Copies of this chain bind each other. A is one copy, B any other.
Amino acid sequence: MTPSLADARALDAADPLGPMRARFALPAGVVYLDGNSLGALPAATPARVAAVVAEQWGRDLIGSWNVHDWIGAAARVGARIAPLIGAAPHEVVVADSTSVNLFKLIAAAMAARPGRMTILSEAGNFPTDLYVADGVASMLPHARVRLAQADDIAAVVDEDTAVVVLTHVHYKSGRMLDMAALTRAAQAAGALVLWDLSHSVGAVPVALNACGADLAVGCGYKYLNGGPGAPAFLFVAERHQATLRSPLSGWMGHAAPFAFTDEYRPAPGIDRFQCGTPSILGLAALEEGVAMFEDVSFADLVAKSRALTALWIDCVEQRSAGHGFALASPRDPAARGSHVSFAHPDAYPICRALIARGVIGDFRAPDVLRMGFTPLYTSFEDVWCAGDILADVMATGAWDHPEYRTRAAVT
């Protein structure tokens, strides 16, 4: 039976993460279920960003690189992300975008496996992962990108595979891959594995080192709440740091950037995977988002993610039964991330109708209504209300309006 509003409120009252919601600046009258696309604003972030702008940039100017340790920010914030992904602090650095970091690490992996010409990935992986793999391959004679279904990856990885590029939690289905098993299979064939953690970090358990992972990248603006276009991060296992080299050899990855020598000499550790000057405003906002995880139990976070997603599935399947929704995410909570997708032929106008009523989710082509549940701030009451509004939108046919069929630039 679907929980009642009172049941949802009781779950909130018992939620150990409940107090965290007040530490976000959530707009009134909105049920925000799109934190997997753009995380909400931490309440502490405006003051932090304002201080960096006025007191650091404005007042201390260039001296801030030393006085406020701007030069160490990329490594410092990376180290704070490390515990969320089962990495050591010196194995993670914040830099550039997820796309740029994918390029760095795919290219570095290809160079580390000479003679192997295949980049293997999942068909239907997040587009930028596939596009960037193509971009790396376009520079290397004889290199190719091979796509396989997720369940076939372990079987098709072979002696020509240099690197396997996989997204841990699928951006659309929310399916979580078995990181340990796939890492073992790829390594058994002599390949490296690069995990994209964009839809995992901050919401589901990630244990890079326990799984023996080689490389990873991830996004700063989803569950880490780092703000729009926040800098991304990358992980290189300690055992690979001395040998792997990024072809994006910008000066911030140099062992001595301020020696201004003509020859590139990569920094000894993770810093070699930096490239140009990092965004200091972006790093400050991201650090606020990341810092909040230090005040919660990760086990609580994961348990809540599973409970929220399960509640949403119940709400849709029971309250909107008979309206054509088909679950497009794993039913087993341990096999999915913190978002849930339902396929529906009218997913686009339904999504727009929900937005018009203050329930913010998103549409993913061609037919998916996707809702993300951020354990730090999503409440059980949010989920219940979204289910209630969806039921009404479907029962009344309110979604079937020409205005809701008009496509926006960003969907």
* A interface list, Cβ under 8 A from B: 25, 27, 30, 32, 34, 37-38, 40-41, 45-46, 49-50, 53-54, 56-66, 70-72, 96-100, 103, 107, 111, 123-128, 130-132, 134-136, 138-141, 147, 172, 221, 227-232, 245-254, 257-264, 275-283, 285, 355, 360, 362, 364-365, 408-411
Contacts and interface: CB of A to CB of B under 8 A. Distances in A.
B276 A128 contact: yes
B250 A63 contact: no
A249 B97 contact: no
Contact of A279 (B131, B141, B279): B279
A141 B139 contact: no
A288 to B, nearest CB: 11
Contact of A66 (B65, B141, B409): B409
B260 A365 contact: yes
Given A100-B248, A282-B281, A49 B53 contact: yes
Contact of A59 (B27, B98, B362): B27
Question: What number of copies of this chain does the assembly contain?
Answer: 2
B62 A251 contact: no
Contacts of A41: 53-54, 57-58
A364 B260 contact: yes
A65 B410 contact: yes
Contacts of A257: 127
A63 B260 contact: no
A275 to B, nearest CB: 5
A32 B40 CA distance: 37
B127 A355 contact: no
Contact of A250 (B99, B278, B362): B99
Contacts of A132: 248-250
Contacts of A261: 127
Given A25-B58, A250-B99, A63 B355 contact: yes
Contacts of A66: 408-410
Nearest to A123: B262
Q: A-B pairs with the 8 shortest C-beta distances?
A: A97-B276, A99-B250, A99-B276, A228-B280, A65-B410, A41-B58, A135-B249, A128-B251
Contacts of A260: 127, 172, 364-365
A139 B106 CA distance: 12
A281 B248 contact: no
B410 A258 contact: yes
A91 to B, nearest CB: 22
A62 B37 contact: yes
B281 A285 contact: yes
Given A27-B61, A261-B127, A282 B229 contact: yes
A264 B62 contact: no
A334 B38 CA distance: 48
A219 to B, nearest CB: 8
A275 B100 CA distance: 7
Find the residue from A124, A281, A409 having the highest chain B CB count within 10 A. A281
A61 B38 contact: yes
A116 to B, nearest CB: 15
B46 A50 contact: yes
Give the most central of A59, A127, A362: most B CB within 10 Å.
A127
B61 A360 contact: yes
A229 B278 contact: yes
Given A100-B248, A138-B245, A362 B62 contact: yes
A363 to B, nearest CB: 9
A182 B282 CA distance: 37
Given A251-B127, A281-B227, A135 B276 contact: no
A264 B96 contact: no
